[in-house]
């Protein structure tokens, strides 16, 4: 096995076993092979095959993204960003986003664009919730990243009547078939020869699956030794629907089903009983989440774009809830997601003290690793996977430097990410994924949008075109 050493790295964000979190380590060597980090600290005197210099660089643990969607999401860029259904609390998802259809030919390209964008922002592990397709697992493996395939399934489809009422169209037989297909996909991912691929059981939404299906899904995840993830408490429309059906919040409902536990990851868990938009004004959900050890997958960029905010990360963390980070959809930029999470938390918490820069790093690394049941990722320590980013400390956007992590998060972001490694292998350099045909995929996407434009009126119950549904942000003027 080839051994690599990087000497005299200016700053390593290393894992301190004594405190259980990250700390700055200056002027240090790191040695690794393709399975593990062999050395972090002073001069490495062991054998090596390659050697490079780390002066002017910061080495960061790879980010763990516990919630993203490929499928049609990368294609949806810039379409419904100014839209929402007023009667559904301004959410665009139910009436608008579901109209975006992707052609089968574009699925691989869409996935490639998502993976490329995530990797170049420092993501080394990701959890992709999508519909299974032939290119899915091979493309995840090809990217070089560590990936969890979470094939979604549900028994009900959303239907919005006349822009004001959310209905559920149930088809349990179809849902059951999708469940079986999803489990076969999870098993294929788990059995895949690549040690970087895994599977996650993923009922799509808490309110589009029957209680029985949710319970069976949780049991299927447990028997396979894999986590389960489900969207829950993600919108006010869902919150009110569950109240109407069961009299319970999503968190309480899942707990009463017996499946709220440390094996469960909830996307996005915003509208819990303590959120100011709900009518409950109690604190029971937060305590339950903490008591059961359930993880929240927080994706602030897409929700804040719709005027919605989790209240607040600091509050969840002080209650001892494990909060990890995801990007959900475009722009698939983990560093931007981290920055937004920090800002949104301080706005929602009405305090600069609500969340620290170190807290965000911990969420994007250790909390995500915990959600996936792993102690070997999201940290730079001997024995951990060699998954990391190298940041160019000499990049103009990083100058002048007092605190390199703050500069990266609050200013430079992915511009200063020089290289990203997984299993000791470089999978992105100078903003370019090395294993994927990113440019080719972008070309396919440019064509794929035409199919989407053509299909939208047929998908919309009222037959509206994409331009009627999503008018451009500026009017057109004549030359």
State both tokens at 32: 């690794």
**Cβ–Cβ < 8 Å for 103, 142:** no
Binding stretches for Zn ion (CB under 5 A): 267, 328
Rounded to a whole number of angstroms, the minimum distance from the CB of residue 267 to Zn ion is 5
Rounded to a whole number of angstroms, the minimum distance from the CB of residue 286 to Zn ion is 21
Rounded to a whole number of angstroms, the minimum distance from the CB of residue 457 to Zn ion is 26
Q: For residues 267 and 424, which CB has a smaller minimum distance to Zn ion in the complex?
A: 267
Q: For residues 203 and 267, which CB has a smaller minimum distance to Zn ion in the complex?
A: 267
Rounded to a whole number of angstroms, the minimum distance from the CB of residue 152 to Zn ion is 9
Angle between helices 438-459 and 107-120 (to 10 degrees): 130
Q: For residues 66 and 242, which CB has a smaller minimum distance to Zn ion in the complex?
A: 66
How many Cα atoms are found within 13 Å in the side-chain-facing hemisphere of 18? 1
Q: How, if at all, do strands 146-153 and 202-203 pair?
A: parallel
The residues near 238 (Cβ < 8 Å, ≥ 6 apart) are 205, 206, 207, 231, 232, 250, 271
Q: What angle do CA 400, 401, 405 make, to 5 degrees?
A: 135
Q: For residues 25 and 221, which CB has a smaller minimum distance to Zn ion in the complex?
A: 221
Rounded to a whole number of angstroms, the minimum distance from the CB of residue 217 to Zn ion is 16
Number of Cβ atoms within 10 Å of the Cβ of 244: 9
Rounded to a whole number of angstroms, the minimum distance from the CB of residue 329 to Zn ion is 8
Query: Can you tell me which residue has the tokens 């470089």?
Result: 426
Rounded to a whole number of angstroms, the minimum distance from the CB of residue 8 to Zn ion is 42
The torsion angles phi and psi of 447, rounded to 5 degrees, stand at -80, -35
Q: For residues 54 and 267, which CB has a smaller minimum distance to Zn ion in the complex?
A: 267
State both tokens at 432: 């370019």
**Cβ–Cβ < 8 Å for 469, 456:** yes
Rounded to a whole number of angstroms, the minimum distance from the CB of residue 68 to Zn ion is 8
Query: Can you tell me which residue has the tokens 């810039």?
Result: 78
Q: For residues 214 and 393, which CB has a smaller minimum distance to Zn ion in the complex?
A: 214
Residue (of 69, 108, 72, 71) closest to 449 by Cα position: 72
**Cβ–Cβ < 8 Å for 155, 171:** yes
Q: For residues 229 and 263, which CB has a smaller minimum distance to Zn ion in the complex?
A: 229
Rounded to a whole number of angstroms, the minimum distance from the CB of residue 153 to Zn ion is 14
Q: For residues 93 and 405, which CB has a smaller minimum distance to Zn ion in the complex?
A: 93
Residue (of 378, 376, 341, 374) closest to 357 by Cα position: 341
Q: For residues 297 and 361, which CB has a smaller minimum distance to Zn ion in the complex?
A: 297
**Cβ–Cβ < 8 Å for 376, 336:** no
Residue (of 107, 119, 120, 104) closest to 73 by Cα position: 107
């Amino acid at each position: 096995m080839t051994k690599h050493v990087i000497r005299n790295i200016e700053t390593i964000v290393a894992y301190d076993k004594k405190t259980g979190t990250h700390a700055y380590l200056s002027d240090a060597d790191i040695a690794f092979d393709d399975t593990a980090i062999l050395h972090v600290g002073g001069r490495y005197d062991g054998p090596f095959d390659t050697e490079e210099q780390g002066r002017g660089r910061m080495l960061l643990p790879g980010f763990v993204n516990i919630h993203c969607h490929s499928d049609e999401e990368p294609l949806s860029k810039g379409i419904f960003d100014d839209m929402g259904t007023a009667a559904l609390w301004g959410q665009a998802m139910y009436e608008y986003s579901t109209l975006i259809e992707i052609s089968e030919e574009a699925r691989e390209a869409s996935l490639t664009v998502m993976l490329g964008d995530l990797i170049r922002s420092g993501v080394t592990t990701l959890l992709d919730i999508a519909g299974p397709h032939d290119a899915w697992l091979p493309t995840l493996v090809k990217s070089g990243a560590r990936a969890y395939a979470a094939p979604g399934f549900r028994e009900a489809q959303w239907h919005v009547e006349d822009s004001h009422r959310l209905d559920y169209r149930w088809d349990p037989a179809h849902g059951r078939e999708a469940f079986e297909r999803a489990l076969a996909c999870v098993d294929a991912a788990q059995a895949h020869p690549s040690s970087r691929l895994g599977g996650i059981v993923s009922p799509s939404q808490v309110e589009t699956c029957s209680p029985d299906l949710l319970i069976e899904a949780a049991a299927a995840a447990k028997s396979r030794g894999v986590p389960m993830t489900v969207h829950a408490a993600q919108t006010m429309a869902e919150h009110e629907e569950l109240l109407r059906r069961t009299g319970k919040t999503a968190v309480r409902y899942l707990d009463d089903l017996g499946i709220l536990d440390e094996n469960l990851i909830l996307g996005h868990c915003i509208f819990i009983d303590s959120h100011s938009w709900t009518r409950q004004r109690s604190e029971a959900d937060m305590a339950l989440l903490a008591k059961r050890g359930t993880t929240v997958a927080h994706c602030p960029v897409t929700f804040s774009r719709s005027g919605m905010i989790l209240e607040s990360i600091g509050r969840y963390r002080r209650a001892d809830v494990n909060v990890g980070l995801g990007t959900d959809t475009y722009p698939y930029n983990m560093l931007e997601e981290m920055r937004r999470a920090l800002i949104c938390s301080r706005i929602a918490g009405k305090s600069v003290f609500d969340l620290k820069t170190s807290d965000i790093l911990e969420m994007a690394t250790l909390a995500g690793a915990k959600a996936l049941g792993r102690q070997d990722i999201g940290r730079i320590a001997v024995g951990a996977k060699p998954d990391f980013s190298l940041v160019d400390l000499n990049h103009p956007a990083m100058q002048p430097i007092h605190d390199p992590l703050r500069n990266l998060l609050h200013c430079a972001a992915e511009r200063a990410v020089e290289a990203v490694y997984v299993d000791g292998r470089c999978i992105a350099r100078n903003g370019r994924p090395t294993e994927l045909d990113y440019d080719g995929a972008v070309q396919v996407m440019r064509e794929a949008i035409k199919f989407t434009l053509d299909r939208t009126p047929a998908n919309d119950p009222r037959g509206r075109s994409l331009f009627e549904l999503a008018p451009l942000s500026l009017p057109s003027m004549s030359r």
